[in-house]
């Protein structure tokens, strides 16, 4: 009997864990540093992500020491206006959860209502299940999640999709993380109408709007990625543009800035094509001037709604 017992392979659990070393070797530090580099502003969001990372790191350490534990509920809600970085943070969160071993693959599947809800009887369940199959082992990001629920339409099939999602979120939470995203006030009403979702969401993260300085820095980063820059007057024009544009309807933070820069590049290209008389160097081809910014309708017709100028 003693000889048989000696053959039994036993695993000795660690008596201590160095959390700082775990932080370094797990790759979590790299993910958080990448988040800081790529995203301007969003201090409260980054703080919540770091807190979540710390919780998961401690839970992993407890598991390695054989301490009693349950898999933490990781489903999340991201609320805020458009263009505040929700999808980007969801991608980083998928990477973070994968590095820590909480999901198998670390991929992100981003969907809206149209990807989940069918248009006739018998269509919704297969659509929803197919999306869930693709997302298993990773993160399912549902943008504008409140559109899943349309109580004013008795023939709407969104409720069927919701019931399938809730079942999977509960029964397969070890293999799938769901992030619901959308406007704050609409998400609040959605949770009130669907308490099953609220009870399954452990982490609520609100994404603030960017201020003027942050939007300008975002614009400079976007231009630099494409080897463009603003001249001095162009920079002043963009400051004025941001101040005016953010007070107008349909403003979408970084998304609106990206659209504005795309149009400024269009105007710059036409300006160079129509008025240049000789050879152009790289600096001329890569510089956005004030006139490329100030030709926007934001300056010429500020009283009218602007959707991307």
Q: What are 279-293's pLDDT values in tens digits?
A: 999 999 999 999 999
Whether residue 225 lies inside any domain: the answer is yes
Domain stop point among 184, 207, 230: 207
- Check which CATH number belongs to the domain holding 74 and give it: 3.40.50.300
The answer on 285 and 141 residing in a single domain is: no
Q: What is the number of domains present in the chain?
A: 2
For the chain, which ranges sit under pLDDT 70? 1-11, 68-69, 154, 301-309
Residue in 247, 260, 237 with CA at minimum distance from that of residue 302: 247
* C-alpha to C-alpha distance for 96 and 28, rounded to whole angstroms: 6
The answer on 198 and 216 residing in a single domain is: no
The answer on 224 and 199 residing in a single domain is: no
Whether residue 9 lies inside any domain: the answer is no
The CA-CA-CA angle for residues 23, 221, 232, to 5°, reads: 145
In total, the chain counts a number of residues equal to: 309
Residue 42 gets the label, from left (phi > 0), alpha (psi -120 to 50) or beta, of left
The answer on 107 and 59 residing in a single domain is: yes
The answer on 262 and 123 residing in a single domain is: no
Class of residue 180 by CB neighbours under 10 A (exposed 0-12, middle 13-18, buried 19+): buried
The answer on 258 and 145 residing in a single domain is: no
Pair of tokens at residue 130: 């197919």
**pTM of the full structure:** 0.85
* C-alpha to C-alpha distance for 30 and 226, rounded to whole angstroms: 25
Whether residue 89 lies inside any domain: the answer is yes
* C-alpha to C-alpha distance for 164 and 167, rounded to whole angstroms: 5
The answer on 227 and 201 residing in a single domain is: no
Q: Which domain holds residue 269?
A: 212-300
Domain stop point among 185, 207, 229: 207
The answer on 229 and 188 residing in a single domain is: no
The answer on 265 and 154 residing in a single domain is: no
Whether residue 2 lies inside any domain: the answer is no
The answer on 198 and 61 residing in a single domain is: yes
Q: Classify the C-alpha dihedral 247-252-257-259 as positive or negative.
A: negative
Domain stop point among 155, 189, 207: 207
The answer on 79 and 138 residing in a single domain is: yes
- Check which CATH number belongs to the domain holding 230 and give it: 1.10.8.60
Whether residue 47 lies inside any domain: the answer is yes
The answer on 53 and 180 residing in a single domain is: yes
């Amino acid at each position: 009997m003693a000889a048989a017992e000696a053959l039994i392979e036993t695993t000795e659990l660690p008596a201590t864990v160095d959390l700082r070393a775990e932080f370094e070797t797990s790759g979590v530090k790299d993910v958080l540093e990448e988040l800081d580099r790529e995203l301007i502003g969003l201090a409260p969001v980054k703080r919540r992500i770091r807190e979540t990372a710390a919780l998961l790191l401690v839970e992993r350490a407890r598991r390695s020491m054989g301490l009693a534990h349950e898999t933490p509920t990781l489903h999340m809600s991201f609320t805020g206006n458009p263009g505040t970085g929700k999808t980007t943070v969801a991608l980083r969160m998928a990477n973070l959860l994968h590095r820590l071993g909480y999901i198998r693959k670390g991929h992100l599947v981003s969907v809206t209502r149209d990807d989940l809800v069918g248009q006739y009887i018998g269509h919704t369940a297969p659509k929803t299940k197919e999306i869930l199959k693709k997302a298993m082992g990773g993160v399912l990001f549902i943008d504008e999640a409140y559109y899943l629920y349309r109580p004013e339409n008795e023939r709407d099939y969104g409720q069927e999709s919701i019931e399938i999602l809730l079942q999977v979120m509960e029964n397969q939470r070890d293999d799938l993380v769901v992030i619901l995203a959308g406007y704050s006030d609409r998400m609040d009403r959605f949770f009130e109408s669907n308490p099953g979702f609220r009870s399954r969401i452990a982490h609520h993260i609100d994404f603030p709007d960017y201020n003027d300085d942050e939007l300008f820095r975002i614009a400079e980063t976007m231009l630099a990625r494409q080897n463009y820059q603003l001249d001095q007057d162009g920079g002043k024009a963009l400051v004025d543009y941001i101040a005016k544009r953010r007070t107008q309807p349909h403003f979408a933070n970084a998304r609106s800035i990206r659209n504005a820069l795309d149009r400024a590049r269009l105007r710059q290209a036409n300006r160079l094509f129509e008025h240049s008389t000789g050879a152009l160097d790289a600096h001329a081809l890569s510089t956005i001037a004030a006139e490329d910014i100030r030709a926007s309708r934001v300056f010429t017709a500020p009283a009218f709604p602007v959707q991307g100028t």
